[in-house]
Copies of this chain bind each other. A is one copy, B any other.
């Protein structure tokens, strides 16, 4: 892949901006270029949140994401708004705990209980964003696992490193299961 555009969407407090920054920083560790951005409009005042990341092996001229190659939606509202703006052969990752009405989609769609995994396997719903990163990287290989783990541990508060490491592993595990199920 030469260039990959990702959109991470949900609601405020889910840590999507942090997830976007971590993903961009992991890409840098992989020797790629990256741009991470968020646009805030009136919807931000309604509690919606969206972060975008472009990762490329070449220089990135235009920093705005159009039709994303991958869209993460961690709320029904975000899914309704952004899922349609994804490449027809792209990837949708949905938090099945929040997105009860998934859209029709021609690409690959993965419904994963992201927040539930964070709560049940790590004991903290606040690491749902890191679980999501594990899922995304696990199904796409957009960044290497080593770089992603380094980027996560560099960015989170020191006393939460273990929790976040666990969250990332849980996300990867869940991705592995999804891919295995697909292969069957």
Interface residues of A (CB under 8 A from B): 17, 21, 24-25, 27-28, 33-42, 44-45, 59-60, 62-64, 157
- The answer to whether B39 touches A38 (Cβ under 8 A) is no
Q: Which residues of B contact A157 (CB under 8 A)?
A: 157
Some 29 contacts from A to B, beta carbons below 8 A apart, are: A17-B21, A21-B38, A24-B38, A24-B40, A25-B40, A28-B40, A28-B44, A28-B45, A33-B39, A33-B40, A33-B41, A34-B40, A35-B37, A35-B38, A35-B39, A35-B40, A36-B37, A36-B38, A36-B40, A37-B37, A37-B38, A37-B63, A39-B60, A39-B63, A41-B59, A62-B64, A63-B63, A63-B64, A157-B157
What's the minimum C-beta distance from A61 to chain B, rounded to whole angstroms? Answer: 9
Quick one: given A64-B63, A157-B157, are A27 and B41 in contact (CB under 8 Å)?
no
- The answer to whether B17 touches A40 (Cβ under 8 A) is no
Q: Please state the number of chain copies in the assembly.
A: 2
Q: Which residues of B contact A28 (CB under 8 A)?
A: 40, 44-45
What's the minimum C-beta distance from A65 to chain B, rounded to whole angstroms? Answer: 10
Q: Which residues of B contact A33 (CB under 8 A)?
A: 39-42
* A21 closest partner in B (C-beta): B17
Complex formed: what's the CA distance from A64 to B36 in Å?
Answer: 11
What's the minimum C-beta distance from A164 to chain B, rounded to whole angstroms? Answer: 14
Q: Which residues of B contact A44 (CB under 8 A)?
A: 28
- The answer to whether B39 touches A27 (Cβ under 8 A) is no
Complex formed: what's the CA distance from A64 to B54 in Å?
Answer: 14
Complex formed: what's the CA distance from A138 to B25 in Å?
Answer: 31
Q: Which residues of B contact A45 (CB under 8 A)?
A: 28
What's the minimum C-beta distance from A54 to chain B, rounded to whole angstroms? Answer: 9
* A36 closest partner in B (C-beta): B38
Q: Which residues of B contact A37 (CB under 8 A)?
A: 35-38, 63
